[in-house]
A and B are shown apart, each in its own frame.
Chain A
Amino acid sequence: MAEKVLMKGNEAIAEAALRAGCLHYFGYPITPQTELTAYMAKRLPKTEGGVFLQAESEIAAINMVYGVASTGKRVMTSSSSPGVSLKQEGISYIAGADLPAVIVNVQRGGPGLGGIQPSQSDYFQATKGGGHGDYHLIVLTPSSVQEMADLTSLAFDLADKYRCPAMLLADGTMGQMMEPVALPEPHKSVIDKPWAVTGTQMKREHNIINSLYLSPEVLEKTNFQRFERYAEIEKNEVRFESYLMDDAEYCIVAFGIAARVAKNAITAMRKEGLKVGLIRPITVWPFPKKAIREAADKVKGFVCVELSMGQMIEDVRLAEECLRPVMLCNRAGGMIPGVDQIVSMTRSLVSSVEGGAR
């Protein structure tokens, strides 16, 4: 195990990206992710082959990402909610051209300019496509600074493996918080990229990076093929943490910072004899549907803890197939639900299910 260092979440992402062989980064300042950009500005020019560029806009940054990704090299951009909205056009093109790239969203409250405090209200945008057209991102949600590093590393590997953009969906708390982290070992892409544009060297037919297909038959075929890959991702890459679910009668579903608060609430409730467990999605696309569905056979109800007006709750309801009541425990606009709120929401769920028996 590598020695642990104390790092801010945003910096852990940057360092993990460098260690994953990402030598190209394009960003634009926005709170609360700017430390990531600053870290790259400091490190990349001193790294062999490293390129850091502060783009003129988030739109330009994501298109620079598209350019580097076209050459087959690992590349990343990062932003926070309003900036990630601007990147959606480029993300759609990257998905449509089947390019690997990593996009980081250190979420803040919205809509509009919103605020600068942590949020999870870009869940829909991240998991349902975000830009125009039929596509998905692989979406990873860290719940500690350690996972900020580990999941960044994983995001690069998955993006390369499936030729699709991957997103690290963090929040302002994760970005700003400092924790000890064991940084991942340096590693590089091991995947051959014969599709990349590198110049033909007059030795092969020209490669074309493109998302335009004017024939609807052909465009439909590219969509079907992409979704075959998505089916593989859903089969192979679902990740979640199951916490105290063996004997759980009630299940909290939460990710990121919300899951950490939920764990404290579970400790408090278990002390009082209430058997509550947690399913913490680590990938929110693909969503751990099977784990939720299986839990529905065992538990009496679900509580979704979210820093939004209730977005993941829709996926939980779809996954548990309306077998059990699903209650929302949320704060929005940059507020974080506390232990007390989670305990009291869970208790009210228990009362409604068990008729006040407890």
Chain B
Amino acid sequence: MAIVFQKPKSLTSKELHYCPGCPHGIIHRLVAQAIDSLGIEGKTIGVAPVGCAVMAYDYFSCDMVEAAHGRAPAVATGLKRSLPENVIFTYQGDGDLASIGMAETVHAATRNENITIIFVNNAIYGMTGGQMAPTSLPGQVTQTSPYGRDVKLQGYPIRVCEMLSALDAPYYIERVAVNNVKNVNQAKKAIEKAFRNQIEGKGFSLIEVVSACPTNWGMTPQRALQWVEEKMIPYYPLGVYKDRGAEEVKA
């Protein structure tokens, strides 16, 4: 019988700890597929965050480093500056990247640090049980915004791609989603491009993946994907926010 689908080689056989219906598994697979198709597993070093993906170091079969909360871009900077021929990626959530690690994110971007960042935005702190994230939507009910996120008291969500693309330096910034097949296919392309940019020495690439958290959103997996379509994507529009390669071609 012909094999039509199998686990990417750069994922280990360790059973994932993620909740049922959690898209982290899909996003891990897309990252691993990119590593496989570019043939870079042997020279790739990944940086795991603090958050739901904290144990990503057990799931990717390349060398891995576990960073402190939010510090992955600084750790990745150290790795890349030490080993410029290797491929360095971070895998971070919204609390990690856009709250506690915002300074590290912005400064890695403005140095056009030649690294790849996979930013998973599910609008909530999953690991700690569903608290308000910097990307939680206005009115969103979480454990720490039990009456809904009140923008007067708790501020507005941060649109990371829009914010970072205001900088001169970063090479490539795109927002994708994994709520349907079409979007998954686009996410796959974007992630592979982000790795290819690094291999070609282009610099900082960040792919924001709009994700879901059925458990902490209190929804079925199917309803959560609908919520991504109805609420998340309108607030976080998909698309390419910065592509210095394309700008150079135009110029």
Contact = CB atoms under 8 A, between A and B. Distances in A.
B161 interface: no
A258 interface: no
Contacts of A211: 66
B245 interface: no
Q: Is the interface of B mostly helix, strand, loop or mixed?
A: helix
B54 A212 contact: yes
Nearest to A89: B68
A67 B113 CA distance: 14
Given A64-B78, A67-B78, A68-B79, A199 B65 contact: no
Interface string A194-231: 00011111110011111110000000000000000000
Contacts, number: 131
A316 to B, nearest CB: 35
A67 B63 CA distance: 12
A225 to B, nearest CB: 18
Contact of A212 (B66, B74, B83): B66
Contacts of A69: 78
Interface string B53-96: 01101101111111110010011111111110010000000000
A53 B65 contact: no
Given A63-B68, A73-B82, A199-B86, A56 B103 contact: yes
A57 B107 CA distance: 10
A202 B42 contact: yes
Given A89-B68, A206-B62, A70 B79 contact: yes
B45 interface: yes
A198 B64 CA distance: 10
B65 A197 contact: yes
Q: Say which size band chain A's interface belongs to.
A: 35 or more
A24 B78 contact: yes
B186 interface: no
Contacts of B106: 56
A74 to B, nearest CB: 10
Contact of B75 (A67, A75, A208): A67
A53 B61 contact: no
B61, B63, B66, B103: which has the most chain A beta carbons within 10 Å? B63
B162 interface: no
Interface centre among A63, A65, A93 (most CB of B within 10 A): A63
B63 A198 contact: yes
A287 B174 CA distance: 54
A200 B81 contact: no
A173 B81 CA distance: 33
A71 interface: yes
B78 A68 contact: yes
26 contacts: A24-B82, A53-B81, A55-B74, A56-B103, A56-B104, A59-B71, A59-B104, A60-B74, A64-B74, A66-B68, A66-B75, A66-B78, A67-B76, A67-B78, A68-B81, A70-B78, A71-B79, A75-B78, A197-B63, A197-B64, A199-B44, A199-B62, A200-B63, A206-B12, A208-B66, A210-B65
Given A60-B103, A198-B86, 11 more contacts: A51-B81, A60-B71, A61-B74, A63-B74, A68-B78, A199-B44, A199-B45, A200-B63, A207-B63, A208-B58, A209-B66
Interface of B: 12, 41-45, 47, 54-55, 57-58, 60-68, 71, 74-83, 86, 103-104, 106-107
Closest 5 CB pairs of A and B: A67-B78, A63-B74, A197-B63, A64-B78, A56-B107
